[in-house]
């Protein structure tokens, strides 16, 4: 019985060690995360870092923001920060802005829900998006 418990403990220990190694290998450095964010916002005309997906936003602010953006019928690159914790923290450092969602148009940080919604309502957002998609 004791031998069996020791063997089970060795198996659990091996599994935990392998899990930690896999996790370490999948972790990116902060520099890599920042580079990926930079590449994403510069190579897509309209980008939103949000909680959830365009089809299933996971917070009201993300839902309101993606709805405003989708009203222009343009391609939107969506990054689900709930599926990528490194992107979640990385984008906050990238913009020095503490909240999600975060919207980028033509490589430039525009803001979060309040700013994007206000710009959408007063007509300032449409020309930015149309120009970005045209480029």
Confidence of residue 11 (pLDDT cuts 50, 70, 90): low
- pLDDT for 16 equals 56
pLDDT single digits (tens) 72-95: 999 999 999 999 999 999 999 999
86, HSE (Cβ side, Cα atoms, 13 Å): 14
- pLDDT for 4 equals 65
Q: Name the residue with higher pLDDT: 102 or 134.
A: 102
* 38 and 95 Cβ atoms separated by less than 8 Å: no
3-state secondary structure of 46: strand
Q: What is the mean pLDDT of the chain?
A: 89
- pLDDT for 12 equals 56
* 54 and 70 Cβ atoms separated by less than 8 Å: yes
Number of other residues whose CB lies within 10 A of the CB of residue 37: 22
User: What are the structure tokens assigned to 35, written together?
Assistant: 């580079």
pLDDT single digits (tens) 25-69: 478 899 999 999 999 999 999 999 999 999 999 999 999 999 999
- pLDDT for 22 equals 47
Sign for the pseudo-dihedral over CA of 86, 116, 129, 51? positive
Instruction: Name the class of domain 29-134.
Output: alpha beta
Query: What is the average per-residue pLDDT within 103-111?
Result: 97
* % of the chain residues with pLDDT over 70: 81
* 17 and 10 Cβ atoms separated by less than 8 Å: no
pLDDT at residue 21 above 50?
no
Close Cβ partners of 45 (under 8 Å, ≥ 6 residues apart)? 74, 75, 105, 106, 129, 132, 133, 135
């Amino acid at each position: 019985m004791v031998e069996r418990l020791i063997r089970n403990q060795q198996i659990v220990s091996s599994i935990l060690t392998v899990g930690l190694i896999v996790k370490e290998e999948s972790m990116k450095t902060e520099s890599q995360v920042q580079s990926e964010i930079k590449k994403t916002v510069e190579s897509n005309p309209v980008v939103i870092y949000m909680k959830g997906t365009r089809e299933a936003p996971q917070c009201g602010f993300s839902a309101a923001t993606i709805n405003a953006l989708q009203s222009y019928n343009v391609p939107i690159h969506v990054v689900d920060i709930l599926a990528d914790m490194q992107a979640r923290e990385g984008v906050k450092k990238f913009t020095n802005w503490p909240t999600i969602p975060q919207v980028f148009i033509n490589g430039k940080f525009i803001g979060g829900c309040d700013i994007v919604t206000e710009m959408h309502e007063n007509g300032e957002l449409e020309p930015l998006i149309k120009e970005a998609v045209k480029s």
